[in-house]
């Protein structure tokens, strides 16, 4: 497979996940800001923007927050930007994607670029974007052969997911809104119902432990690491090879989270930091091994 094609699949996985997780997070955070007025808007907005590595300069109301995070096509940290970047990558591999996948992604992109009515009721508009992204994921799931391309895409998605769970946890809803915060964190990861089934109280430590170490929830960092590891093994099975460093990164992360003992709050923060660093290292490793090996000649000026 062409490195360029592989790279596009990898980024398609990442950007779709980023757009979806950011939209869910924004919808939930906005709802919390609106419903529970105990935290000043400026502080509430800043908490989300800093976690998304975006500038909080001048953003002091929920309406403004939505405008900035929905963003624009040029900035792939924003929802519109991530969807647009996903679509750009999908165009490059349009021949290898099912027609339905491209159409679903395209409709999400068009909805965003035509400027949906985000200001009136952002929750409604964000839900529409989310729906379309879920369609993309659904079609991919039941139409794509489990080949090399698929494994690159899943690897991208899982690395992004680890990053997004880390950003979600960095917001500290539990400290800003002690009563409604922990439930909001769970909702932002679509984890409320699965968490409740565990029978644990909705409080900071159990919630954070769940998002990092739960063995069954598909957005816990532990499951993401396991899925990333499986994707790398899938790549090896389909014939690609590298130095083994990529498998080492994701495998060590998975085993650290899988065999973690009952954590203290400090342990949890340590795990989150390590997981995010490991995801970054793994991302760099994918580049070095498959997309731009050392010594690649790049013409530029």
Partner 1 sequence: MDQLELTPPGSVAPFDEMLLPDGLPRDTHADMHRTLVSLGADGLSERARQRDAYLDRHGITFTLGERERPLPMDLVPRLLTPSEWQHIEAGVIQRLHALEAFLADIYGPGRVLDDGLIPRGLVTTSTHFHREAWGIETPNHVRIHVSGIDLIRDEAGEFRVLEDNLRNPSGVSYVLENRRTLAHVLPEVFAHHRVRPVNDYPERLLDALRAAAPPAIRHPTVVVLTPGVHNSAHYEHAFLARHMGIELVEGRDLYCRDNTVWMRTTSGPEPVHVIYRRIDDDFLDPVHLRPDSVLGIPGVVNAARAGRVTIANAIGNGVADDKAVYPYVPALIKYYLDEEPILPNVDTYDLSDPDQREWVLGRLDRMVVKPSDASGGYGLVMGPWATDEQLHDVTAKVRAHPRGWIAQPVVTFSTCPTVVEDGRLAPRHVDLRPFAVNDGTNVYVLPGGLSRVALPAGSLVVNSSQGGGSKDTWVIDDGSHEERITLAAQAAPAGSVVHDDEVLRPRRNSPPSHDDRILQQERQQQQGVQPSGGTASPGQPC
Q: Which is nearer to partner 1, 56 or 134 (CB)?
A: 56
Task: Spell out the alpha helix ranges (H) of 117-147.
Answer: 122-143
DSSP character at residue 289: I
Contact predicate 112/71, CB 8 Å: no
Site for partner 1 in 259-298 (CB under 8 A): 269, 272-273, 276-277, 280, 283
Contact predicate 253/275, CB 8 Å: yes
Applying CB under 8 A, among 170, 190, 204, 260 the residue interacting with partner 1 is: 170
Size of the site for partner 1 (CB under 8 A): 63
Contact predicate 28/47, CB 8 Å: no
Nearest distance in Å: CB 90, partner 1 = 12
**CA dihedral sign of residues 169, 132, 89, 71:** negative
Q: Which is nearer to partner 1, 36 or 242 (CB)?
A: 36
Q: Which is nearer to partner 1, 129 or 183 (CB)?
A: 183
By the rule CB under 8 A, 155 interacts with partner 1: no
Site for partner 1 in 50-69 (CB under 8 A): 50-53, 56, 62
Q: Which is nearer to partner 1, 182 or 234 (CB)?
A: 182
Contact predicate 187/35, CB 8 Å: no
> At 38, is the secondary structure helix, strand, or coil?
coil
**CA separation for the pair 301, 282 (Å, rounded):** 29
Lookup result for tokens 């800001």: 33
Nearest distance in Å: CB 237, partner 1 = 26
> At 180, is the secondary structure helix, strand, or coil?
coil
Site for partner 1 in 96-135 (CB under 8 A): 120-124, 127
Nearest distance in Å: CB 206, partner 1 = 12
**Side-chain-facing half-sphere of 226: CA atoms under 13 Å:** 16
By the rule CB under 8 A, 149 interacts with partner 1: no
Lookup result for tokens 């003992």: 261
Applying CB under 8 A, among 202, 204, 252, 260 the residue interacting with partner 1 is: 202
> For residue 19, which of 67, 66, 84 has the smallest C-alpha distance?
84
By the rule CB under 8 A, 89 interacts with partner 1: yes
Instruction: Give the residues lining the site for partner 1 (CB under 8 A).
Output: 7, 11, 14-15, 18, 30-31, 34-40, 42-43, 46-47, 50-53, 56, 62, 76-77, 85, 89, 120-124, 127, 163, 166-167, 170-172, 175-180, 183, 193, 195-199, 201-202, 269, 272-273, 276-277, 280, 283, 300
């Amino acid at each position: 497979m062409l490195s360029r094609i592989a790279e596009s699949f990898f980024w398609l996985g990442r950007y779709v996940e980023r757009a979806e997780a950011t939209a869910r997070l924004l919808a939930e955070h906005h709802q919390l800001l609106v419903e529970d007025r105990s935290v000043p808007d400026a502080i509430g907005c800043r908490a989300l923007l800093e976690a998304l590595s975006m500038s909080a300069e001048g953003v002091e109301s929920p309406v403004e927050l939505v405008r900035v995070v929905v963003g624009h096509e040029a900035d792939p940290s924003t929802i519109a930007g991530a969807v647009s970047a996903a679509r750009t990558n999908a165009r490059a591999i349009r021949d290898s994607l099912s027609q339905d996948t491209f159409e679903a992604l395209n409709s999400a992109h068009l909805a965003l670029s035509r400027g949906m009515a985000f200001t009136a009721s952002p929750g409604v508009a964000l839900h529409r974007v989310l729906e379309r992204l879920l369609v993309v994921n659904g079609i991919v799931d039941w139409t794509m052969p489990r080949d090399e391309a698929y494994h690159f895409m899943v690897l991208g998605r899982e690395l992004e997911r680890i990053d997004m769970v880390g950003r979600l946890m960095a917001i500290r809803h539990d400290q800003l809104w002690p009563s409604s915060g922990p439930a909001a964190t769970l909702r932002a990861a679509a984890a409320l119902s699965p968490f409740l089934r565990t029978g644990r109280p909705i409080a900071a430590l159990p919630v954070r432990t769940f998002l990092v170490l739960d063995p069954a929830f598909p957005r816990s960092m532990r499951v993401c690491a396991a899925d990333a590891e499986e994707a790398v093994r899938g790549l090896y099975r389909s014939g690609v090879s590298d130095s083994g460093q990529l498998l080492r990164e994701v495998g060590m992360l998975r085993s650290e989270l899988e065999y973690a003992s009952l954590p203290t709050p400090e342990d949890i923060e340590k795990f989150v930091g390590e997981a995010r660093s490991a995801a970054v290292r793994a991302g760099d490793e994918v580049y070095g091994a498959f997309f731009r090996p050392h010594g690649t000649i790049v013409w530029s000026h």
